[in-house]
Structure 1
Amino acid sequence: MLSVAIGWQMYELTNDAFSLGLVGLAQFVPMMLLTLLVGHVADRFDRRKIVFLCQLFEGVVAVFLAFGNHAGWLGREQILLAAAVIGACRAFEGPTLAALVPELVPKELLPQASAWSASAGQTAQILGPSLGGLLFSAGPSLVYVTSAVALLSSAALIYWIRKKRSVRKVEPLAVRSLFTGLVFVFRHKIILGTISLDLFAVLLGGATALLPIFAQDILHTGPWGLGLLRSAPAIGALLMSLVLAHVPLKRALGPILFGALAVFGAATILFALSTSLILSLTALFLLGASDVISVVIRSTLVQLHTPDEMRGRVNAVNSLFVGTSNQLGEFESGMMAGFFGAVPATFIGGVGTIAVAALWMYLFPALRRLRTFSDEWTEEKPRTKQSDVQTGP
């Protein structure tokens, strides 16, 4: 709901594609600056309480937006400030939530758990934008207030999670230990190939930042149409994640991954060329369904092959890659649209996604040949946990 309201209100206030891009940049910069610290915090402190605080502060930001809009002083700068604070909160929240899951789920069920986690998130992304677009028709303040209630309720539910007490090895805070997540990722080539593939493919192919432009100027619909457009990828992702939860990926992971990226690029091209709301929704549906395959493969690989005492730092690196592809992708899309127009920018992004997939098949042959989740462990033996911890950047 916040994404719909912030994006639509920013474009309504400025009528400027560059400003839409800046919203993505404002969320990305805190994530980039805080990544190394975030991972160390997630490995040193109670992960449940960290997520609780993040949700709490995001709820406060929603209250700030509601009050500012009601009082009439909410403008471009205030929206960008709110986006930056949300980005900082999500910088801590994402890696910590990912690191928390293996504490709650047996290792052998992680692939299914990743799919169920994705389906839960996608359900929220279906209901949220649709409801946000509907509520926005009655005014953005209503969207912000509803978001605040949801976020504060979520904070309470996170705080009440009960889990077995686990004892993690805690390292002293040092510059060397901050970089061990990066060292771990770059040492495991298949993990590096997977998350970097997602980074560059989504960075080029992401069109969600431009949805307000497509909704208003190309498809000629209102906030309700924008809500439908934002929900369509989530619906595709939800249905695919439910399939993967019941029929988990076990074989031909590499070919499936690259095939999904090819579909992602083709769907982006179709969306760019469409002038029909139904066809655009279909393209976004396919885009979301193909994207969740990459999410499940990437998250399962990271969780299965990361020691618990390093999981926060490794997931922080993973979140940086994901955040770069999403938030920086929104900035890139906004800049491209500002220079070339929304349709050419989106079309070029779709072609670029397919090109990146082809290039990564050449650069990471082990990823192309990946068959099962255990292949990475047998193809290159990682060093011991202790050496991973002690190795500097």
Structure 2
Amino acid sequence: MGRSAAICGDQILEIMLVWAVWQLTQSSTLTGLAVFIQRAPFWLFGFVGATFTDRLGALPILKRANGFAILVAALATLAMAAGSSEALTILCAAFAIGCARAFESPALTAIVPALQPVWSTKNLNNLLDNAKRLGRLVAPFPAMLLGKTATFLVLDIAAASFAIMVTAATVLSRSIRPATNPLPTGIGEQLRAIRTICASRVLAAVLVCSAVYALFHGAAYFVILPRILLEGGNGEAGAYASVIGAFAFGGIAANLIIAWLPASRSNLMVGFGMFVAGLAFLLVGQTGTLALQMAIGLAGGASFAFQDVFIITLIQKHAAATHLARAHALWRLGSELGLGAGVLLGGIAADNFDAAWLLLVVGASIGLVSLVLVLRTSPEAEDRHPA
């Protein structure tokens, strides 16, 4: 419940940011720049957050990160109510909340072993991912109010959702004792941890392929696709929010299937997810019908769930316990750097080339990345680390 609520708030903020900047500028380049700024904290502070998680335990980080997000959303609400620029205020709030998420994300991965043996690693990842998809499914409904009511009222909904995550972490802390680990925090130790993580052939392939995939995903999902939908909807947020909701629903449906799949060939599941994502991006740009775009979004959302669940399962399987949060942070760091480059390059490209043609190129490129990942990670069990 807490995971769903926090993601719902994040997704509301993300839709608000894209809508507000597009309304103000009508520029994909500037919209991409805004998304880049929003995502920057993940590569600026992600490894720092992971180190604190490995030292202090996951639950204290979860509570503090979401408490900070509530404070930021409340301050942004007051600023907009006082008449400040909506686009600038939302951008600043998105960056600040992104800082909190840079600490929260590795904590969510690290908390999974504490919930075993009641649940398997893959099933716990499946449950958390489904919670994320549920939050993304709910978020477009309040986001559809954008342009029809005061924007800060929509932001209030996001703030309330962050409070639910704080409550959930507080309840969990009563049954799970925070695990502290007196790790050294010097640069030398961090570099040794990175070398140890990258020594795994599977982890190295996952890190590199995920970063390249994120480059194309960032361009398509955060810049090119919104341009097509917002232009087709005359600037209204309804069509954009509807397709984003379809992506979320597809992820929820996929998680019902994932729950019954074995974790033994996680690399194939990740490759399959990437391939379907590429196909979805390729096809969605070739139709102007909202119903078809939503149907393709269902398939695309399903592919995202396959990737997220099985990539995290691979990381948890191949990373040593003392490096788990930092292995996740390295994956997130590479992905966010790729995504950041993607939204910037995608914004420039979308302002100068046909958006449908760009999605065709992106889809084909993602298909090649999926093939490389499968070839580089099979067999996946060769370098498994002990817990």
Q: Work out whether the TM-score is over 0.5.
A: yes
Query: What is the count of residue pairs matched by the alignment?
Result: 373
Q: Over aligned residue pairs, what C-alpha RMSD do you find?
A: 2.4
Provide structure 1 residue ranges, at least 5 long, that are not aligned to the other structure. Answer: 386-393
Which residue pairs with 1:177 in the alignment? 189
Give the letter aligned to residue 358 of structure 2. A
Which residue pairs with 2:310 in the alignment? 297
Partner SS state of residue 137, structure 1: coil
Residue of structure 2 aligned with 1:48, choices 50, 59, 63 = 59
Could you say if the C-alpha distance between residues 53 and 196 of structure 1 is closer, same or farther in structure 2, counting changes exceeding 3 Å? same
Partner SS state of residue 179, structure 1: helix
Identity in percent: 21
Rounded to whole Å, the distance in 1 between the matches of 2:108 and 2:188 is 24
Residue of structure 2 aligned with 1:261, choices 274, 284, 287 = 274
Q: Which stretch of the first structure deviates more once superposed, 104-113 or 51-60?
A: 104-113
Rounded to whole Å, the distance in 1 between the matches of 2:294 and 2:139 is 16
Rounded to whole Å, the distance in 1 between the matches of 2:278 and 2:289 is 19
Which residue pairs with 1:147 in the alignment? 158
2:317–2:384: 8 Å Cα contact kept in structure 1?
no
Residue of structure 1 aligned with 2:246, choices 232, 257, 263 = 232
Residue of structure 1 aligned with 2:201, choices 189, 192, 206 = 189
Give the letter aligned to residue 263 of structure 1. V
Q: Write out per-residue CA displacement over residues 156-205 of structure 1, whole angstroms, 9 at most, x where no aligned residue.
A: 32223233326544222211222344223311111221243232123213
| TM-superposed deviation, 1:214 | 2.1
Q: Write out per-residue CA displacement over residues 61-100 of structure 1, whole angstroms, 9 at most, x where no aligned residue.
A: 2223322322222254433322221221111110111111
Could you say if the C-alpha distance between residues 288 and 19 of structure 1 is closer, same or farther in structure 2, counting changes exceeding 3 Å? same
Please show how residues 1-393 of structure 1 align to structure 2 within 5 Å.
1-106=12-117, 109-134=120-145, 137-161=148-172, 162-165=174-177, 167-206=179-218, 207-210=220-223, 211-220=225-234, 222-245=236-259, 247-250=260-263, 252-361=265-374, 364=376, 367=377, 369-370=378-379, 375-376=380-381, 379-380=382-383
2:215–2:342: 8 Å Cα contact kept in structure 1?
yes
2:207–2:330: 8 Å Cα contact kept in structure 1?
no
Rounded to whole Å, the distance in 1 between the matches of 2:108 and 2:294 is 30
Structure 2 length-normalised TM: 0.88
2:206–2:373: 8 Å Cα contact kept in structure 1?
no
Give the letter aligned to residue 356 of structure 1. V
Q: Which stretch of the first structure deviates more once superposed, 331-340 or 47-56?
A: 331-340
Provide structure 2 residue ranges, at least 5 long, that are not aligned to the other structure. Answer: 1-11
2:266–2:311: 8 Å Cα contact kept in structure 1?
no
Partner SS state of residue 144, structure 2: helix
Rounded to whole Å, the distance in 2 between the matches of 1:167 and 1:359 is 37
Rounded to whole Å, the distance in 1 between the matches of 2:192 and 2:175 is 27
Which residue pairs with 1:389 in the alignment? none
1:170–1:309: 8 Å Cα contact kept in structure 2?
no
Could you say if the C-alpha distance between residues 117 and 136 of structure 1 is closer, same or farther in structure 2, counting changes exceeding 3 Å? farther
Rounded to whole Å, the distance in 2 between the matches of 1:221 and 1:173 is 48
Q: Which stretch of the first structure deviates more once superposed, 21-30 or 220-229?
A: 220-229
Could you say if the C-alpha distance between residues 36 and 254 of structure 1 is closer, same or farther in structure 2, counting changes exceeding 3 Å? closer
Q: Write out per-residue CA displacement over residues 208-256 of structure 1, whole angstroms, 9 at most, x where no aligned residue.
A: 32344222213557322221111111111111112212x0334544444
Structure 1 length-normalised TM: 0.86
Rounded to whole Å, the distance in 2 between the matches of 1:169 and 1:152 is 28
Which residue pairs with 2:6 in the alignment? none
